[in-house]
Amino acid sequence: MKKKRVFIISHTHWDREWYMGFEEHHMRLVNLIDDLLYLFKHDPDFDSFHLDGQDIIIDDYLAVRPEKREEVMHYIKEGKLRVGPFYILQDDFLTSPEGNIKNALYGMKKARDYGHQPVNIGYFPDTFGNMGQAPQMMKLLGFDAVAFGRGVTPTGFNNQVGQGKFDSTYSEMNWESPNHDQVLGILFANWYSNGNEIPVDEVEAKAYWTKKLAEAEKFASTRDLLFMNGVDHQPVQMDVTKAIKVANKLFPDYEFIHSNFDDYLKALKEDLPEDLTTVKGELTSQDTDGWYTLANTASSRVYLKQTNIKLERTLENKLAPLFLLKGQVTPTEQDKLDYAWLELLRNHPHDSITGCSVDEVHQGMMNRFRKVAQVAKSLCGEALTAFTDKIKTDGFSEEAKPFVILNTSGVTKHEEAVVKVELFRRLFAEASPEQAYRDAEKFLEDHQQLRVVDQAGNSVPFRVVKRYAAYGYDLPERTFRVPYMAAYVELAVASEIKPFSWQTFAVEFGQGDERGLISGQEARLENNFIRVEVMPNGEIKLFDQRNLNEAYRLHLVDTGDIGNEYIYRQSADKSRIIFNSPIKNLRSSQLLQGQKVTFEQTMLLPERAEAKLDYERQAVIDITHRTSVRSSVVKPFTIKVTLELSANDRRVKIKVEGDNQHQDHRLRAEVTTNQINAHNDSESIFEVVTRDNQVSPNWKNPTNPQHQQAFVSVHEQGKGVVIGNLGLQEYEVAPDGSEIALTLLRCTGELGDWGYFPTFDSQCLGEFEAEFSIGLTDGSQVEQVTAYQVARADQIPLITGQTARHSGEYAPEKTYLTVSNPAFAVTATERSESGEMIVRGYNLTAEKQPLEVKLWDQSAAAIVDFNGNKIDRAQTELDPAEIKTYRYE
């Protein structure tokens, strides 16, 4: 009989920032790598160290110890330091699909730049749930195996009750994505610390291994047993090879090997049985008691999610398309783009973007976000100028001030585009600053009448938002800065821009179709598709014009929260305050292409939880055992609600804003669906996932929170509700499907988990805003898919930019990308440094779809994987739930 093999992999799980600020963890990281370099030099039996699947650790170490670079690179090349495949260990659900891919591509590239192939496994040891498309994504990255820590329950050989959907007999299993791609899944059934701190003493080692081997063998499908020698922030075990020698002496029927994932996987695959369980789709601990899914991190520090989404949209849907449109990307530009992405990825680790760290961590994140925004502003400005310089605008009159409106989303946008146009400029070289300012003001006085025209000379409706004189400056590429004063006008222009298209307009002097802002006090918005009514108590009713007898209702609800950054726990009094006070300051406006209504509402809310919660936090009482109620002291909580309905849309946009001075509470928008439905559909990572509204029989948590990207929907034949959002990534659907709740704000005072870490900033005191939309459909696939695309497009604003009169190779109006089927959701349009162009997207449906995707009216040269390698896939068909990448030359 062959010996059983015990593969011991030394590692640490390195949360870059968490219960301490980044630099405190950073200093401990330096000690860890120093120890490793010593071990590599002095212990020839020490095989290697697994660097937690993330390359950023190398960057962090060398930032403090740059003189060690050559030594570190040597040990990476030698395979002693095992790096990659990712740049950071991200949260699956709270970063975008493209953010997930960028993390892998940058991680793999860095590993190769360091001189070694990345670790050949998708590595998700501590993600807060696992995305359903991970198998397909890993296949497209070149991996056929993943290791993960959450989402599946191993049952072992003695399971008497039959397996559920999220049970596996073994710690090894097949994991299948919605498109039916499969990878080998390796569950850390006894966690990623099952081989931590191995004793050298023989008596202790005998007891240790007797217990540990039995635990591993209970779930192992082969004679190959995996033991992870490390845990969170664990220093390397300096005597691990001695401990292994002791184990080999004590257990002659086992071979204990200090090893690595590559060798372990090779051995494991040779021994795998044929009866592995197959688990399917996302793995989010659906079949547990529900308390520790960590899904409520989707609503912790909502401001982080909102900022991240906006920057992802800037990099993915503004900067990347502009790079594609402007032409060749230089190496310098590519390096700047990489810098922006890597800086954003530093905010994507699972303890960072989730909002479940100490305040210092998230303060640092906001600084990183600001850096990304600054880089993006610079690059977008340059790229927009380069793009608009290529558009033919000399068809306008000589006095005209041309500008371009660009739509990089997948739907036609019927909305006001706001554009800033410079009408006049006086250089400081021509006049004193004061005189230049007066000249600019005088120009505005003398040119009150304006008109906006399209490229055919037709007058376009517009509204003047403001006129003003202001200081500005240019920074020429090769000469000194040029200051000036200028006269500006900010216009709202009626536009109808097709998907992936631009149109060119111009401001001219003279009488035009200028519209004023018509104001009133109407509590109703209406178009041919939807009617919206605001009730005197603040409730909002929506009607599909096809059935005015059935109202969908929206109201805001506030509850107490005695949980933490990880987990919502309602206060013991079950306080539930529905916003139903008389509205005030009602205003309505007739816009160029729609209507807007605003109102305010004030409710008296408890100012915080009772003082008992302070004790429960400090005593580290588990939230499931807390009994605090809300304070009897109340104070006003005022919100402003804005509703906007465009003339051609089937959805109403909603914005809720206020100044939060209350603690320990949660604010949600609750929308009735007028349905009894067992399922909901939500956008996740490269998929529209269908989730059960009913929980498992094992579920104990009174709530069932879920993640989302751009939308959630409940629909049936004849009716459907689609709720879109901008950075509001937590929702919950009632068990019977009758209501969708969207979390707008969640305020807590501690980190949670394994100790007491106060986090006052997570109370989110101060100004806040929440943007979402409600769309109504007939429940058909056609209208559902259209509504999904609209929700995704609502996260992508129109791009506007002024240009000069000039000739150009681009027509004044052009569609650069055509997608024949709205079931294809485009996630990327990029130009590589080599000049190749990429279009990527995924199937919004679970059905095969016909599809043609043309860029610049050309068909793709190839279908490729995430690495750019050609794969055998049909160009004109989209498989169910397929992710597809087109390459153009």
The enclosing domain of 281 has a CATH number of 3.20.110.10
Assigned domain for 598 exists: yes
Last residue of a domain, one of 287, 308, 323: 287
Residue 829 in this model has a pLDDT that exceeds 70 = yes
Could you tell me how far CA 199 lies from the centroid of its own chain?
Answer: 42
Q: How far is CA 142 from CA 115, 645, 675, 866, in A?
A: 19, 46, 43, 8
Q: What integer is the mean pLDDT of 68-90?
A: 98
Confidence band for 607, pLDDT divided at 50, 70 and 90: very high
Greatest CA span in the chain, whole angstroms? 98
pLDDT tops 90 at residue 400: yes
Domain assignment present for 596: yes
Q: Are residues 12 and 143 in the same domain?
A: yes
CB atoms under 10 Å from CB of 453, counted, come to 21
Rounded to whole angstroms, what are the CA distances from 52 to 119, 175, 519?
10, 21, 59
Query: Which pLDDT does position 545 carry in this prediction?
Result: 97
Q: Do 630 and 701 sit in the same domain of this protein?
A: yes
Determine the Cα–Cα distance for residues 786 and 822; give it in Å rounded to an integer.
7
Does residue 178 have a pLDDT over 90? yes
Q: Give the containing element (helix H, strand E) for 1.
A: none
- Is 404 a residue whose pLDDT tops 60? yes
Asked whether residue 85 is assigned to any structural domain, the reply reads yes
Is the pLDDT score of 161 beyond 80? no
- Pick the closest to residue 87 from 98, 67, 101 (CA basis): 101
Query: What is the four-CA torsion angle of 760, 765, 766, 769, rounded to 10 degrees?
Result: 120
Predicted confidence (pLDDT) at residue 543 exceeds the cutoff of 90? yes
The stretches of 189-330 forming alpha helices (DSSP H) are: 202-217, 240-250, 261-271, 302-314, 320-326
For position 75, what pLDDT does the model report? 98
In a domain, 211, yes or no: yes
Q: Looking at the domain assignment, is residue 345 inside a domain?
A: no
Q: Determine contact, residues 551/561, Cβ cutoff 8 Å.
A: no
Angle, to 10 degrees, between the axis of helix 69-77 and the axis of helix 22-42? 60
Place of tokens 């699972």: 350
Please report, as a single letter, which amino acid is at residue 602: T
Mean pLDDT in the chain?
A: 97
Q: Within this chain, do residues 525 and 504 fall inside the same structural domain, yes or no?
A: no
- Whichever domain contains 876, its CATH number is 2.60.40.2220
For residue 886, pLDDT beyond 80: yes
Residue 146: is its pLDDT beyond 70?
yes
Same structural domain for residues 164 and 273? Answer: yes
> Residue 721 pLDDT more than 90?
yes
Report the CATH number at residue 532: 2.70.98.30
Instruction: Say which CATH number the domain at 424 has.
Output: 2.60.40.2210
Give the closest residue to 392 by CA, choosing from 510, 512, 502, 507.
502
pLDDT for the residue 162: 54
**pTM, 2 dp:** 0.97
Mean pLDDT over 388-394 rounds to 99
Structural domain contains residue 298: no
- In the chain, the amino acid numbered 406 is L
Report the pLDDT averaged over residues 656-661.
99
Q: Locate tokens 């303060």: which residue?
A: 363
Same domain for 481 and 530, yes or no, is no
Tell me the angle at which helices 302-314 and 359-388 cross, rounded to the nearest 10 degrees: 20
Which residues, 6+ apart, have CB-to-CB distance to 366 below 8 Å?
A: 304, 307
Examine residue 788 and state whether it is found in any structural domain, yes or no. Answer: no
pLDDT at residue 157 in the model: 65
Q: Which of 287, 316, 344 is the last residue of a domain?
A: 287
Q: Does residue 639 share a domain with residue 507?
A: no
Instruction: Output phi, psi for 827, to 5 deg.
Output: -110, -20
Q: What pLDDT, in 10s, does the model give residues 774-820?
A: 999 999 999 999 999 999 999 999 999 999 999 999 999 999 999 99
Beta strands 634-646 and 81-82, pairing class: unpaired
Q: What is the DSSP string of 743-803?
A: EEEEE-SB--TTS--B-GGGG--EEEEEEEEEEEE-S-HHHHHHHHHHHHHTTS--EEEE-
3-state SS of the chain: helix, strand, coil percent to 5? 25, 35, 40
Is 485 found in the same domain as 611? no
CA dist 346 and 20 (Å) reads: 16
What's the whole-number mean pLDDT along residues 466-485? 97
Q: Does 641 have pLDDT greater than 70? A: yes
Question: Residues near 127 by Cβ (< 8 Å), separated by ≥ 6?
Answer: 89, 90, 91, 92, 148, 149, 150, 350
Same domain, 745 and 853: no
My answer on whether 247 and 162 are in the same domain is: yes
- Residue 290: exposed, middle, or buried by beta-carbon count in 10 A (0-12, 13-18, 19+)? buried
Residues 882 and 752 in one domain: no
Mean pLDDT value across residues 520-531: 97
Tell whether the torsion through CA atoms of 830, 836, 837 and 838 is positive or negative: negative
Query: Where residue 315 falls among pLDDT bands split at 50, 70, 90?
Result: very high
Domain assignment present for residue 687? The answer is no
State which H helix or E strand residue 472 sits in.
strand 462-474
Q: What is the pLDDT of residue 158?
A: 58
Q: Which of 514, 543, 562 is the last residue of a domain?
A: 514
Mean pLDDT of 724-728: 99
What residues make up the domain containing 127? Answer: 4-287
- Asked if residue 313 has pLDDT above 90, the reply is yes
Tell whether 659 and 560 lie within a shared domain. yes
Cα 591 to the chain's mean position, in Å? 32
pLDDT at position 835 is: 81
Query: Residues with catalytic annotation?
Result: 126
CB atoms inside a 10 Å sphere around CB 591 = 19
Q: How confident is the model at residue 163 (pLDDT cuts 50, 70, 90)?
A: confident
- Do 551 and 482 share a structural domain? no
Average pLDDT over residues 455-481: 97
Distance of CA 280 to the CA centre of its chain: 23
pLDDT computed for residue 462 by the predictor = 98
Domain count, the chain: 4
Measured from the Cβ of residue 880, the count of other Cβ atoms closer than 10 Å reads: 13
